[in-house]
Amino acid sequence: MKLISAGEAVGLIQDGMTIGVGGFGAYAAPETILQAMADSFAAHGHPASLTVTCGVSPGDNTNRLVGLNRIASEGLLDTIIAGHFANPPLIAEMVARNQVAGYALPLGVMIHLYDAIAAHLPVVLTPVGLGTFADPRMDGCRANERAFSQRREMVKVVELEGKEYLAYQTFPIQACIIRATYADESGNLTMKNEGLGDFAFDLAAAAHNSGGIVIAEVQKVVEFGAIHPKDVRIHAHMVDYVVVADESLYYQGYAAGYRPELCGNVRVPAAGIPAMDLTNRKVIARRGALELEPNCLINLGIGIPSGIGSVANEEGIASTLSLESGPQGGVPVEGLGFGGSVNPETIYNLSDVFHLYDGGILSMTFLGAAEIDQFGNVNVSKFGSRCTGPGGFINISQSTPKVYFVGTFTADGLEEEISDGALHILREGRKRKFLQHVQQITFSGQYARDHRREIMYITERAVFRLTDRGLLLTEIAPGVDLRRDILDQMEFEPLIAEDLHTMDPRIFRSGRMEIADALNGLQAGW
């Protein structure tokens, strides 16, 4: 291992390289090196024409120059291959404007590709992505016209023993930039104070075994032997260079400063975690929480789904909540800090998470939904020319037996209040979410039906189930009109259950719902 400056690290990255960048959303971005890369390009025009690959691209969902936003310069980037690239919005905008070629892969596939690259395997073979935009019979993971013009084949359909699979193509990685907490004098790395699981090992292994270079940005260098062997995440043999981060650019996550309760260094009283205010978001989270089961591993997605963790904590429901970012157990952080959990029981690395998810370890999952169509398809990945990528959505939704899509009924300007035990729509959203056809299929209703998945769509005013004949409306909120507030706000007519009934009134009242006793009693009976 050689200790170098950020500028020297950037000097090792040559024009046209494929480089891997660590970090996950709000966490663990190698900020100092990324900033040095941006400065070098602005001053000298190098490095240029890079292909960047990452998982959930680091960023804070604003145009602020953090994460990959730092290198969102035309000419610096040529191509991005990622599981998700909306967190750095400037990157997403470049993809939308065809300034860079964009490829959006299921996050689990992206992580497994790094493993396959390290193992010198030609493909990752998996059913994940069949029937979605990742399928080459649709978009083949291409996010924009520039990607189509490259004629790069990211994925093929293959048949094995009478079943279809997708074969995602591996590619060499010439360099990677990762973030760790500490390096010792030899170059051993620990992620001791990071707020989530990581894929730094997988990315480093892919670059190292491709004959590339591995550059680690750390908070500080400590004495050799100071890191316990079980805390060494990446051995020095795989680390070529270490950069000590600029102190002003080193932070656990964008949402707050260092929070030891996210990485297991302390535990905080769960009772002290604030409950959600009674809004339409809490109504949706509460209705979702009614589906929770004890002794189950339950995944929560970003946005409204993460609020189910808050409701479960408030109600004292005994379920283990799992995040694709690694934390298992605890209470997921909402908003910008999503990806971390308060008081996690364990923190897996992402490769392990997705091996388990793909293998069916989850009992149920709660995911967001931006568009839903008459066939039960869901879009969360592309809107107009703007492509965000699926993150772990495809892996999770295809591999889990019970899938609950949660979100508001309409969007863009929707205003609602909860009072007197009812939902009151003050102003309807300008954007309908229940459409005849979604723009892009991120979840295939047909795939779910073929594999006998249990699918439900939960909003603040209506609940639907997916049947062989389409969406079946089963519940409506108190205070709403079936025709005006539901059917007239959809582009298609759903089936209506003969026993259509009102949603549980406890959802719309202040205070706890007091639903834990039944669940915990069931748990005791098990």
DSSP string, 139-174: TTTB-SHHHHHHT---EEEEEETTEEEEEEEP----
Dist CA 371 CA 198 (whole Å) = 30
Nearest CA to 289 among 313, 258, 267, 263? 313
pTM of the model: 0.94
Superfamily of domain 2-106+171-246: Glutaconate Coenzyme A-transferase (3.40.1080.10)
- Cis? peptide before 47, omega within 30° of 0: yes
Q: Does the domain spanning 274-525 belong to CATH 3.40.1080.10?
A: yes
Residue 204 belongs to what H/E stretch?
A: helix 200-209
C-alpha closest to that of 365 among 434, 305, 294: 305
* Nearest to 128, CA basis, from 348, 395, 324: 395
Q: Do domains 2-106+171-246 and 274-525 have the same CATH topology?
A: yes
Residue type, 19: I
| Alpha-carbon span 173 to 27, nearest angstrom | 22
The active-site residue, picked from 324, 334, 416, 428, is 324
Question: SS3 string of 446-468?
Answer: HHHHHCCCEEEEECCCEEEEEEC
Q: What distance in Å separates the CA atoms of residue 323 and residue 305, rounded to the nearest whole number?
A: 11
Domain ranges of the chain: 2-106+171-246, 274-525
334 is catalytic: no
Q: What is the DSSP letter of 26?
A: T
Inter-residue contact 10 to 44 (CB < 8 Å): no
**Distance (Å, whole) CA 481 – CA 475:** 12
List of residues 6+ apart from 221 with CB closer than 8 A: 3, 182, 183, 184, 185, 242, 244
Please state the length of the chain.
526
The closest alpha carbon to 430, from 409, 408, 407, 413, belongs to 413
Q: How far apart are alpha carbons 77 and 68 in whole angstroms?
A: 11
Q: In whole angstroms, give the CA distance from residue 491 to residue 462.
A: 15
User: Could you give the 3-state DSSP secondary structure of residue 84?
Assistant: strand
pLDDT one digit per residue (tens) for the chain, 526 residues: 899 999 999 999 999 999 999 999 999 999 999 999 999 999 999 999 999 999 999 999 999 999 999 999 999 999 999 999 999 999 999 999 999 999 999 999 999 999 999 999 999 999 999 999 999 999 999 999 999 999 899 999 999 999 999 999 999 999 999 999 999 999 999 999 998 888 999 999 999 999 999 999 999 999 999 999 999 999 999 999 999 999 999 989 998 889 999 999 999 998 888 899 999 999 999 999 999 988 899 999 999 999 999 999 999 887 899 999 999 999 999 889 999 999 999 999 999 999 999 999 999 999 999 999 999 999 999 998 888 999 999 999 999 999 999 999 999 999 999 999 999 999 999 999 999 999 999 999 999 999 999 999 999 999 999 999 999 999 999 999 999 999 999 999 999 999 999 999 999 999 999 988 776 654 443 3
